[in-house]
Chains A and B, each alone.
Chain A
Amino acid sequence: AQKVTQAQTEISVVEKEDVTLDCVYETRDTTYYLFWYKQPPSGELVFLIRRNSFDEQNEISGRYSWNFQKSTSSFNFTITASQVVDSAVYFCALSEARTGGFKTIFGAGTRLFVKA
């Protein structure tokens, strides 16, 4: 069975602080995909990144970076120098390759508050 755990329910930081959102996953498959989505107050889910299970290279995109470690089954997301516009709920998700998108499992989300 697959599972995604986002242990941090809410995080509050002051602008310009760095913040890391944790994501731990469980799967028995060897080929899978991991995702992060951002959901601002307006409600839409915005796709941020996908990593596949055989690519453990960390990725950086502007102030965003992702750390994928198969040894600890984690896919953490760091925002550097946070801004008020980063305030949102962030979802981590897991999809086993063989199942298509139908069995994508989303974590419960981490609500990030960035105060000015």
Chain B
Amino acid sequence: EADIYQTPRYLVIGTGKKITLECSQTMGHDKMYWYQQDPGMELHLIHYSYGVNSTEKGDLSSESTVSRIRTEHFPLTLESARPSHTSQYLCASSGTGVSSGNTIYFGEGSWLTVV
């Protein structure tokens, strides 16, 4: 079982607002990820982190930013939300080493609606 938590689960906000999606994991994983997904559609990696103070952009360009000040915490911020940001955001993590097998564990997701 994965121990990765996202808040809020559901958020409806107005255009132009700043939002932060929180993500925490208790597994001590070095690697963390943010994926963006429209319901039931393909997953798109938007950010990832190798560890503390490391962040990289993923395959899909995103206006969001992330930070990794603590191993367990990987928040995602949108400075000015727009309707095009409406989507589900999935936080995930994975361990290091052969035993981890590159297995990615996901949080429950944050559904963002920008009106």
Question: Which A residues form the contact surface with B (CB < 8 A)?
Answer: 33, 35, 37, 39, 42-47, 50, 52, 89, 91, 93, 95, 97, 99-102, 104, 106, 108-109, 111
Contact between B31 and A44, CB atoms less than 8 A apart: no
Which B residues are in CB contact (< 8 Å) with A39?
40
How many interface residues does chain B have, given as a range? 20 to 34
Which A residues are in CB contact (< 8 Å) with B48?
102
Count of chain A to chain B residue pairs whose CB atoms are closer than 8 Å in the complex: 65
Question: Which B residues form the contact surface with A (CB < 8 A)?
Answer: 2, 31, 33, 39-43, 45, 48, 56, 88, 90, 92, 94, 96, 101-109, 111
Closest to B98 in A: A97
9 contacts between A and B (CB under 8 A): A33-B101, A44-B90, A45-B106, A46-B106, A101-B31, A101-B94, A101-B102, A102-B45, A109-B40
